[in-house]
Structure 1
Amino acid sequence: MTTHTRERSTRPTRRAVATVAALGVSMLALGACTPGASTDSEAADSPYGFAAVEQQADAPLTVWVDASRQPAADAFVKANPDVPVTIETYDGGADGSGSFQTKVQAFDQAGSGWPDVVFSTQNNDAAWASQGDDPFAAPLDKGYFEQSFLDGFTEGALAPLTVDGTVYGLRNDLAPTVTWYDESLMERFGYTVPTTWEEYQALGEKVAAEHPGYIVGTVGDAFAEEIYFWGGKAPVNTVVDSGTFSTDTSDPHAQDMAAMIDELLDAGVLAQESVFTPEFVQKYTGKVLMLPGPVWYSGALFDNPDSLAAEPGTVAAGLPLAWEGEEPAAGNVGGGTWFVSRHSANLEAAEKFLEFVTSDERYQVDLAPGLPAYEAAADKWLAKQAESGFFAGDFRANVSTAATQIWDGWGYPRFSQEAVWAKTVTPRLAAGESLVDLLPQWQEAIENEAQVNGYTIK
């Protein structure tokens, strides 16, 4: 973990005096005492809606971010030089690594060491971070944040972070899947952009025959199942309730999607490299005809000199695809979440940090690579993209529509579907095995992981 310390002068906070007077000094942690904490019985007296540790107006704020969110933390430091901040970088839980949870469990055992603020790429982290006798994540809608601020998030954006009716995190950005395509290549080859999965498969087979070397997608990332199976309405990741989980890879949507992927892999038009690898960039720059994937590919891949570096006006974000005769559906790939620790001794500064990184234009409009979850910032970010002229087609309208089409049949359990897919499916696909044949093994692996995490399988 890389640490960047930004020491600044301190200032009084509007809640500090009242909070210190109201709160006690002890609260049980998992297997250890938390120094300076109060008992849960005092939560009703807390202005935050939960029993907080003793607050210190000059306590440094420790913030964990992944490399992509480093600019967010830096922007906050620049805009708030009076807030003492220590920035530490880690993997953000990418690909379901579980590093966030593992580190928190170690701090729980030690009874100290928790960061104040954490960014995670995994929206399902709220499912575990909100649980236990002394959970990590602070509830955010019981008095901690103003409701008017929380109401500013795009409708549904906080749903993945809402557990038993309580909000435990704030979304950084929205990540609906869209159908990326190179408009210039489509016109040159005389192709029509597909609107259904059936048309997508037919186009892929045509590309294989007429323009070998070009691709229409990739399955090389741990989030491939969130693009294809979530976007294809396959019920393989269903949280029935807080204790019950369901997965069904025998469902026709799952079977059809797996068969389509097999066909396109055999045809050579689906890449098996991760989009973040040098190999992908080297092999496919200028060769990406289509690429179903999240909206944040905009800044991460296409408008990025270190990645595919598309020419302005060539790449467009098309609408999500549909099965023939059905309504279109978008998957969701990450989007990222900010959490505040219950153990923070400077909740005032943590609140200020989260408000800035989720809603302030100086980050979310000027610097953020993806669609902000905060509605006012999202509107301005979309307008900025449209005005830049970098993307072809109606980028603003299509992205806005996709954000309303995320399929609600895919849940957020206490484990990472990405980690299960990466371990069970990815290496076997790379070895040439059939995805259709792998579906029962994938289902078994999902069920085993669900049971380990305390779910009853329905």
Structure 2
Amino acid sequence: MTVNKPLADEKAVPRKRRTAWPAACTVTVALATALSACGGAAPAKTTEDGFAQAAQTDGAVTVWVDATRTAAAKQYQQLHPEVKLDIVSYDGDANGSNYLQTKVQLFNRTGKGWPDVVFSSQNNEVTWAVDAGFAAPLDKGLIAADTLGRFAKGANDVCTVNGTVYCLRNDLSQVVLWYDAPLMKQFGYTVPKTWEEYQALGQKVAAEHPGYLVGDAGDTFTPEIYLWASKCGANHITGPKAVSADTGGPECTKMAQLMDTLIKNKSMSISGVFSTDFAKNEKDKVLLMPGPAWYGGAVFHDTLKTPEKTIGAAPIPQWQGDSAPATGNVGGGTWLLSQHSTHLKAATDFLKWVTTDNAYQGEKAPGFPAYAPAAENWLKAQAASGYFDGDLGALKDASSQVWPGWGSAQFSQEAIWAATVKPGLTQGQTLVSLLPAWQDSIVKHAESFGYKVSQ
């Protein structure tokens, strides 16, 4: 049975963002030769496809992948025996390990060692990889506009710097409302369409079926589920080094008030869906659960062992009167092509195949593909698995509704939440009371990474 599973980095552990790479040996796209201090003279380069390209040679294409994407690289090799791949396994930058950036810094100094193509479990790699001269521009000739145009709306926003696309999104982690269909029917409840209905149902559940849950606020990615979907302006990336942070706006406070109400009556847990406590005490009590696309496999199928034909997916609720549907996003992954590649044709072919081809994305990928045509096939595969109750059409709709007012920066909102908000919630403080401290922490973290912050 094929069921959506999480990416290797997907949120079981808080992720830390990498620090900026020192500028002393920065290699930029415009340079035709490397600074001698960064590894000596480089071979002559030809400017094409928007960047200075290394001399092209024969040989193996070096592909760095995490454990989950190793199967994709091996599948490509089987289908393309004429292309030799050197498949290197690494952590995929899971949990913000900084491995890729650290290695690129070393390769830039020594003038050798860069992989041709690399997968990252992070959505913020271009915040350093462009300035470091590593990520190649893809929309200047390497990847056709028609192909780029078939990715889900906004999918490659995290890959775009000053209007240029520097990576391709592997999968989406759009938030939907997961629900236990048999329990909802047994209790006589209707899946809520608005946040107001959602809160009312949570209050009803607390009174009529104490112990059952309509959500969880115990994970470090909680703000990406609830506050992002509420259009809370806590993390609006307005430029390469600029962010707007306002946790006191109505979109933040009314969601915080909703969550406080449900946490207080215990219809919203603060344990965390991957915690031992949750799996032991609450796995059979989940009535509703806002969460990303990968919850279907990672949480319900793999962690909670929820029986088949139980879990369904519905659109995330919207605030009453809001005419522009919005949702959040938790995770996903990206593929980058190196400017230093000496096998650009083969490397680009692999990059396009691994992000768009049905052989992998449409049939075998563990997450919801960012490439829309492959996503259609992926949804059919999930339906054929027989695990879910009903179709997963809500995932398709949500894929183009991720609110663009929440971005991917070098600093980690999850780390900030883990250090500032989660301890307070555990100690019984209200989320509303913690909003000012959350904003103060965002500002300090952003400024430490060189961001100009407006409030």
Q: For residue 233 of structure 2, what is the aligned residue in structure 1?
A: 235
Q: For residue 114 of structure 1, what is the aligned residue in structure 2?
A: 114
Percent same amino acid among aligned pairs? 46
Let me know the Cα RMSD of the aligned residues.
2.6
- Cα 1:162–1:216, aligned 2, differ >3 Å: closer, same or farther? same
Q: For residue 420 of structure 2, what is the aligned residue in structure 1?
A: 424
Shift of 1:118: 2.3
Does residue 33 of structure 1 match 2:30? Answer: no
Q: For residue 352 of structure 1, what is the aligned residue in structure 2?
A: 349
Greater mean deviation of Cα atoms: 29-38 or 231-240: 29-38
Aligned counterpart for 2:253 among listed residues 252, 255, 258: 255
Q: For residue 89 of structure 1, what is the aligned residue in structure 2?
A: 90
Does residue 52 of structure 1 match 2:58? Answer: no
Greater mean deviation of Cα atoms: 122-131 or 384-393: 384-393
Does residue 401 of structure 1 match 2:397? Answer: yes
Q: For residue 11 of structure 2, what is the aligned residue in structure 1?
A: none
Instruction: Give, as a single letter, the amino acid of the residue that structure 2 aligns with 1:322.
Output: Q
Shift of 1:105: 3.4
- Cα 1:289–1:70, aligned 2, differ >3 Å: closer, same or farther? farther
Q: For residue 147 of structure 2, what is the aligned residue in structure 1?
A: 149
Shift of 1:421: 2.1
- Cα 1:237–1:145, aligned 2, differ >3 Å: closer, same or farther? same
- Cα 1:140–1:91, aligned 2, differ >3 Å: closer, same or farther? closer
Does residue 101 of structure 1 match 2:71? Answer: no
Q: For residue 207 of structure 1, what is the aligned residue in structure 2?
A: 205
- Cα 1:355–1:224, aligned 2, differ >3 Å: closer, same or farther? same
Instruction: Give, as a single letter, the amino acid of the residue that structure 1 aligns with 2:189.
Output: Y
Mapped partners of 1:36, 1:79: distance in 2: 35
Instruction: Give, as a single letter, the amino acid of the residue that structure 2 aligns with 1:365.
Output: G
- Cα 1:187–1:113, aligned 2, differ >3 Å: closer, same or farther? same
Shift of 1:359: 1.4
Q: For residue 330 of structure 1, what is the aligned residue in structure 2?
A: 327
Shift of 1:294: 0.9
Mapped partners of 1:191, 1:30: distance in 2: 69
Q: For residue 283 of structure 1, what is the aligned residue in structure 2?
A: 281
Which SS does the other structure have where 1:51 is aligned? strand
Shift of 1:34: 6.7
Does residue 361 of structure 1 match 2:391? Answer: no
Which SS does the other structure have where 1:203 is aligned? helix
Shift of 1:152: 2.9
Mapped partners of 2:390, 2:35: distance in 1: 53
Shift of 1:99: 4.3
Mapped partners of 1:112, 1:162: distance in 2: 26
After superposition, residues 428-447 of structure 1 pair within 5 angstroms as: 428-447=424-443
Mapped partners of 1:374, 1:92: distance in 2: 22
Instruction: Give, as a single letter, the amino acid of the residue that structure 1 aligns with 2:422.
Output: T
Aligned counterpart for 2:193 among listed residues 171, 195, 204: 195
Which SS does the other structure have where 1:63 is aligned? strand
- Cα 1:218–1:31, aligned 2, differ >3 Å: closer, same or farther? farther
- Cα 1:101–1:447, aligned 2, differ >3 Å: closer, same or farther? farther
- Cα 1:346–1:283, aligned 2, differ >3 Å: closer, same or farther? farther
TM-score by length of 1: 0.84
- Cα 1:349–1:270, aligned 2, differ >3 Å: closer, same or farther? farther
Mapped partners of 1:223, 1:73: distance in 2: 29
After superposition, residues 306-325 of structure 1 pair within 5 angstroms as: 306-325=302-321
Which SS does the other structure have where 2:52 is aligned? coil
8 A Cα contact 1:358 1:374, kept in partner: yes
Shift of 1:195: 1.2
Structure 2: unaligned runs, 5 residues or longer: 1-30
Provide the aligned length of Structure 1 versus Structure 2: 423
Aligned counterpart for 2:453 among listed residues 449, 452, 457: 457
Does residue 381 of structure 1 match 2:382? Answer: no
Instruction: Give, as a single letter, the amino acid of the residue that structure 2 aligns with 1:28.
Output: A
Q: Deviations over 1:293-324 (max 9, x none)?
A: 1112222233x3x3223322221111121112
Which SS does the other structure have where 1:124 is aligned? coil
Shift of 1:232: 0.7
8 A Cα contact 1:58 1:346, kept in partner: yes
Shift of 1:91: 4.8
- Cα 1:228–1:35, aligned 2, differ >3 Å: closer, same or farther? farther
Mapped partners of 2:40, 2:142: distance in 1: 21
Shift of 1:197: 1.5
8 A Cα contact 2:221 2:414, kept in partner: yes
Shift of 1:110: 4.7
Shift of 1:36: 4.5
Mapped partners of 2:151, 2:84: distance in 1: 25
Mapped partners of 1:432, 1:35: distance in 2: 60
Greater mean deviation of Cα atoms: 84-93 or 223-232: 84-93
- Cα 1:160–1:83, aligned 2, differ >3 Å: closer, same or farther? same
8 A Cα contact 2:194 2:318, kept in partner: yes
Shift of 1:392: 2.0
- Cα 1:419–1:57, aligned 2, differ >3 Å: closer, same or farther? farther
Instruction: Give, as a single letter, the amino acid of the residue that structure 2 aligns with 1:239.
Output: I
Which SS does the other structure have where 1:158 is aligned? helix
Q: Deviations over 1:117-175 (max 9, x none)?
A: 222232222222222xx422111111222333323323332222111111001011122
- Cα 1:284–1:353, aligned 2, differ >3 Å: closer, same or farther? farther
Mapped partners of 2:380, 2:448: distance in 1: 45
Greater mean deviation of Cα atoms: 112-121 or 444-453: 112-121
Q: For residue 130 of structure 2, what is the aligned residue in structure 1?
A: 130
Structure 1: unaligned runs, 5 residues or longer: 1-24
Instruction: Give, as a single letter, the amino acid of the residue that structure 1 aligns with 2:121.
Output: T
Which SS does the other structure have where 2:69 is aligned? helix
8 A Cα contact 1:261 1:435, kept in partner: yes
Which SS does the other structure have where 2:125 is aligned? helix
TM-score by length of 2: 0.85
